[in-house]
Amino acid sequence: MTPDRPIRIAVVGHTNAGKTSLLRTLTRRVNFGEVSERPGTTRHVESVDLDVGGRTAVRFFDTPGLEDAVALREHLEAFDKGLTPPDRIRGFLRSPEAHGVFEQEAKVLRAMLDIDAAFLVIDAREPVLPKFRAEVELLNACARPVLPVLNFLHGAAHRENAWKDLLSAYGLHVVVRFDAAAPFVGAERELYRDLSTLLRDRRAELDKVAASLDAEFSQRRTAACQRIAELLVDATAMRRTASAAEFADEHGRHRLVAELQKSLFDKAQRCADDLLTLHGFREGDADEAPLPAIEGRWTMDFFHPEAMKDAGILLGKGVAVGAAVGVVADLALAGLSLGTGAALGGAIGGAMSQGLGPLGRKLANKLRDVHELTVEDRVLFVLMGWQVRLLRALEYRGHAAVDRIGADGPVGIDRHALADVVRTAQPARSHPDWESGNRLRWREAPQRQELTSHVARGLREAIQAADGAPA
């Protein structure tokens, strides 16, 4: 056994116990194999690699389900009792039955003789029946380290204690709790740590795998916070202008507001799709409420009062959300009334070029009878809560899950911390040119990059604080 060779692990167990599901979660390959409630979905041994530091650290083998272990155990009774259990297994594999009635079991046992260790995946919801005892006996006969993995433990119907009793009776005292659809916090790390107790000569490599998983999680979260911060800065900078005549016309006003809404929708949808991709999920893997996605396109109506009222559950009870689009109807600032502004005459028209910034722009627009449309802070608050909720759901979701991403994951960050993040992005309101879009030659300003990074750091710190908060 050499450290240059990948650690070879067979994933074995009864039909439909969740073997392929476990591999999807461990390798973050949502398209690996086929996951189905139909029994016997996996018919052949398939391999998938886990790379660490540019090389394959672990090679997993997904095996077919053991379908008739009881009959095979009885069949092995006819073999020479003087042989060791592994030799009896090898004798069976040379027999015609290994290519006939016991073909599926033979594939599993053949893989067991050629690996370093095995994960025995158990659907902990199943009652402990004689067929499962026979499976454990067959696997033990291969004389390879076996680490039982209790799957599907999040429901109330599991039989964890009964399974542990059975496994202990066969000398399998190290047992991992791992739900492939909704992994427990730190479950992957525990899986490799426990495996290292069985493969002591590969412990250093397994420690590297665990450390790599931690690093990847941290990198994904950093990238996700950066992407959400980009959305927030983009939405905060959004500004649309319209003449008084356009805004006085009801149809024109509705069109302008709808265009701003649509633009915000598109930005939020792209961010959501990027978060799904970052975590190795496909478009359409999200539930319809309150994290709605239909065919991968997020469609929450941020601008509908009832929708925002419903969205309040994302941010905690008592959070008030209101109108989504702020129409700046009165642009006088610092006590300057319209009359006072008019008295300033043509000098206001050049306020922007004279360095008066947003105040000059607003006064100039007022004189020109121009209205400005922006996205209100309360909507930014809801938008951020929605994206953070998605991020938290993805972080706690296994790649084996076949149901859509729902809203029953960990809560989002504290609403006061979320409000602080929204406030951090406020400087973008003074820079409508910071909004990204399809404009030719648009280039992100260094100041925008700096603000986005600042917002991302604040968001990450808020999420980290939520990690340590009681549920």
Which residue do the tokens 């300057």 mark? Answer: 336
Identify whether residues 165 and 42 lie together within a single domain: yes
Q: 369 exposed, middle or buried (CB, 10 Å; 0-12, 13-18, 19+)?
A: exposed
Domain presence at residue 329: no
Q: What does the pLDDT look like over 332-374, one tens digit per residue? A: 222 222 223 222 222 333 333 333 344 445 444 554 566 777 8
pLDDT for 264 equals 85
- Helix and strand element counts for the chain (H, E): 16, 11
Identify whether residues 25 and 152 lie together within a single domain: yes
Identify whether residues 178 and 235 lie together within a single domain: no
Identify whether residues 183 and 226 lie together within a single domain: no
Residues 186 and 395: their CA atoms lie apart, in Å, by 11
Identify whether residues 73 and 193 lie together within a single domain: yes
Identify whether residues 314 and 410 lie together within a single domain: yes
pLDDT for 279 equals 82
Note down the domain range covering 269: 221-324+376-467
Domain presence at residue 269: yes
Q: Which of 134, 167, 198 is the last residue of a domain?
A: 198
Domain presence at residue 168: yes
pLDDT for 266 equals 85
* Helix locations, 12-76, DSSP H: 19-27, 69-76
Identify whether residues 66 and 105 lie together within a single domain: yes
pLDDT for 147 equals 93
pLDDT for 369 equals 64
Identify whether residues 166 and 233 lie together within a single domain: no
Domain presence at residue 346: no
Identify whether residues 15 and 121 lie together within a single domain: yes
Q: Which of 166, 198, 230 is the last residue of a domain?
A: 198
Domain count, the chain: 2
Identify whether residues 47 and 168 lie together within a single domain: yes
Nearest to 230 by CA among 434, 376, 386, 441: 434
In this structure, what CATH number is given to the domain that contains residue 50?
A: 3.40.50.300
Identify whether residues 285 and 318 lie together within a single domain: yes
Residues 440 and 458: their CA atoms lie apart, in Å, by 31
Domain presence at residue 148: yes
* Low-confidence spans in the chain with pLDDT less than 50: 1, 33-42, 286-360, 362-364, 367, 407-410, 470-471
Which residue do the tokens 């722009």 mark? Answer: 361
Domain presence at residue 288: yes
Euclidean distance between the first and final Cα of the chain, in Å?
Answer: 44
Q: Report the predicted TM-score, pTM, of the whole model to 2 decimal places.
A: 0.71
Coil/strand/helix, residue 332? coil
pLDDT for 77 equals 87
Identify whether residues 259 and 320 lie together within a single domain: yes
For 145-200, give the DSSP string.
-EEEEEE--SSTT--HHHHHHHHHHTT----EE--SSSPPTTHHHHHHHHHHHH-G
pLDDT for 331 equals 27
Domain presence at residue 330: no
